[in-house]
Chain A
Amino acid sequence: MAAKKKLMQGNEACAEGALYAGCKFYAGYPITPSTEVAEIMSVELPKRGGKFIQMEDEIASMAATIGGSLAGLKSLTATSGPGFSLKQEALGYACLTEVPCVVINVMRGGPSTGYPTGPSQSDIMQAKWGTHGDHPAIALTPAYVQEILDETVRAFNLSEKYRTPVVVLYDEIVGHMREPITIPEPGDLEVIDRAKPDCDPEDYKPYDDKHLIAPLAPFGEGYRFHVTGLNHKEDGFPTNDSEMIDINNRRIMQKIDDNIDDICKNDESNLEDAEIGIFAVGSTSRSAKFSVNAARKKSIKAGLLRPLTIWPFPDKAVGELAEKCKVIIVPELNLGQMVNEVKRVAAGRCEVVGIHRVDGEPIKPAQITELIEKYS
């Protein structure tokens, strides 16, 4: 069959990706600039045997999303800055209880109500550290409308595979941009479903530490088990045993640490011989790509590292970049979040400089080009 081409908005592509991945449950609360995702899911889910509910706030939305997933449905919620803040406690609950779900955060200017219709990349750190306690974090950063679709599918896959919430971060520019994209046919993209137990219900342990990731039974199908946000043992019941607490807290981190190569994904352009590296995500990486191309025309050896997974941080790729470049430029729509991570990894091997903007305007190629030329 001929591939289906369509002009689509970023948020529309997100909904399309979620449906492709088999999402059957959405709970959310309206907030600019993410609302289109909810609007589309409210129309599409009931057609496909799925459920949509508009909750009373984002706390309830996150909680209902986790509930939907525990009932066995792939579950989604979408929000933006203030709503992402409200979701944090329940997001941590999903990390500890290991309930898969996908959270879309279409980043807008902050802090507080900030600039609802302006782009931003200021929730990069919140996606990692927003909820209290040490916890695993996976966050994806698509930059093109096609990528929003593809990465939303990947978000569900990672979430189901690693039994953990996955955050998709993209800025308002990409969320509201329209681009022609190819809608994948069934089978074109991999779709992963969570492992379910096949053991006797009597023997089921929802946090069996013989597995790094234990199978998850849906509620109401004979496996009567307990889920709690307290530190728990293999059987899911709370424990005060320090050894058990330690094992479980480390295991949920190890799920990510042991699978970095599977989770990390980067797009690299002109990096082979690069002397000036640029590290950027989202709309900013689009400007960066433009600047790199312009520099190459002037025979300046600039290259772009564009992570599609920002958490776990792409230490390996940044390390390689630091080895070969004299400088890494980090343009970002915040006052310095990714740049410090890049500095940590570069560890003095090269210079690291940021370009930061928080006036609600995008970082334009000219700003990046200026720095590239300065270092060339």
Chain B
Amino acid sequence: MAVAKQKLSVPFDYDKYLRKDKLPHIWCPGCGHGIVLKSLLRAIDNKELSKNDLCMVSGIGCSSRTPGYVDFNTLHTIHGRAFSFATGLKLAKPSLKMIIATGDGDAMAIGGNHFIHTCRRNIDMLIIVYSNAIYGMTGGQFSPTTPIGSIATTSRYGNVEPPFDICEMAKAAGATFVARGTAYHTQELERTFTEALGHKGTAVVEVIDSCPIYFGRMNKQRGASEMMENIEKNGTVSVKQVDKLPAEKTEGKLVRGILHRVEKPEYCEQYDKLIVAKATK
């Protein structure tokens, strides 16, 4: 499916959405997390969403520190459980526009069960997985998305575990919008977020992201720019090109773009339609 073309608004006033007095942020120089946030804020602006309705919930990790910097209703919870806190909030107050900021460790390891059940319910929320293939915050241990062979502080001999494909998992679990972007392709990411924010139901966007400090240093990608270059050249291929390219050019690469989009009944709406309607008859 093609990503809809949107007019990009340059220059852009990020201050409108940031808690400026909470800056500088905690992220290391060269970390991809801030880039992801910029694309998100532009997408929020494209959708003209109200800050009073926006609710950002996160778990624990470097990526999960995002809510502290945005001027919305913000909740920084416990490791892996952001989805469950957010489910309570959304069901209790459906007018909230939910965005989950989570990491590959937060969402796929400790929060894996909540992730799949959230997708299954198709409750209206945008889940952004900052996917850097490492536990950044705790100092570089391997995560459920670390590639086989990669070095981490707990896989000094190379990781033996096969990684999850987050998008496949989201789709299989029932998410009705699934996309993948990267911290390098920022304009495409903005468009993807814009589409995702317009979707009713559980939308999952995996963002291939970089942790130069731990993943990069341990895996011979010495600088932040080198990591970005790697994402650009070697890591991914656009969903628009994947069918046109020869197999050797797509082998081992992750596909970028909107990968899955279907219309299905949303949880809170179903709750009103099926449960409340019958209970109050």
Give me the interface of A with B, judged by CB distance under 8 Å: 24-25, 27, 43, 46-47, 51-53, 55-57, 59-61, 63-73, 75, 89-90, 93, 218-222, 224-230, 237-238
Cβ–Cβ < 8 Å partners of B117 in chain A: 55-56, 60
**CB-defined interface of B75-117 with A at 8 Å, one 1/0 digit per residue?**
1111001011111111111011000000000000000011001
Say whether A51 contacts B280, CB under 8 Å.
no
Closest-CB distance, A281 to chain B (whole angstroms): 31
- Tell me whether A224 and B51 are in contact (CB under 8 A): yes
Establish whether residues A70 and B114, one from each chain, have CB atoms under 8 Å apart when the complex forms.
no
A25, A46, A93: residue with the most chain B Cβ atoms closer than 10 Å: A46
| A56 contact set on B, CB distance < 8 A | 113-114, 117
Measured in the bound complex, the distance between the Cα atoms of B91 and A218 in whole Å is 14
Query: Is B186 among interface residues, defined by CB-CB distance under 8 A?
Result: no
B247 within 8 A of A: no
- Nearest Cβ in chain B — how far from A74, in angstroms? 10
| Other-chain residue from B55, B71, B93 in contact with A72 (beta carbon distance below 8 A) | B93
The smallest C-beta distance from A351 to any residue of chain B, in angstroms, reads 44
Q: Are A46 and B275 in contact (CB under 8 A)?
A: yes
Please give, as numbers and ranges, the residues of chain A lying within 8 Å of B14 by CB-CB distance: none
B binding-site residues for A, Cβ under 8 Å: 19, 22, 51-53, 55, 57, 67-68, 71-78, 81, 83-93, 95-96, 113-114, 117, 271, 275-276, 278-280
Q: Which residues of B lie under 8 Å from residue A69 when comparing CB positions?
A: 88
- Please, which residues of chain B bring their CB within 8 A of the CB of A73? 92
Residues of B within 8 A of A67 (CB): 57, 75, 84-90, 92
| B92 pairs with A60, CB closer than 8 A | no
Q: State which of A52, A60, A70, A238 has its C-beta within 8 Å of the C-beta of B89.
A: A70
A64 to B123, CA, bound (A): 13
Is B92 in contact with A63, judged by CB distance below 8 angstroms? no
Contact pick for A93, options B78, B113, B275, CB 8 Å: B78
Q: How close is B202's CB to chain A, nearest CB, in angstroms?
A: 14
Known: A67-B90, A220-B96. 10 other contacts (CB 8 A): A27-B87, A27-B88, A55-B117, A60-B87, A63-B85, A64-B91, A218-B93, A228-B68, A237-B68, A238-B76
- Looking across the interface, which residue of chain A has its beta carbon closest to that of B91? A51
Q: Is the CB of B84 within 8 A of A71?
A: no
Residue pair A43, B279 in contact (C-beta under 8 Å): yes
- In contact, B52 and A224 (Cβ under 8 angstroms): yes
Residues of B within 8 A of A221 (CB): 52
Cβ contacts under 8 Å, A230 to chain B: 76
A64, B88: Cβ atoms under 8 Å? Answer: yes
Nearest chain A CB to B165's CB is how many angstroms away? Answer: 21
Decide: A57 and B96 in contact? CB cutoff 8 A.
Answer: no
Query: Which residues in A have their C-beta under 8 angstroms from that of B90?
Result: 67
Residues on B with beta carbons closer than 8 Å to the beta carbon of A89: 78
Shortest Cβ distance from residue A79 to the other chain B in the assembled complex, whole angstroms: 15
Q: Is the CB of A63 within 8 A of B67?
A: no
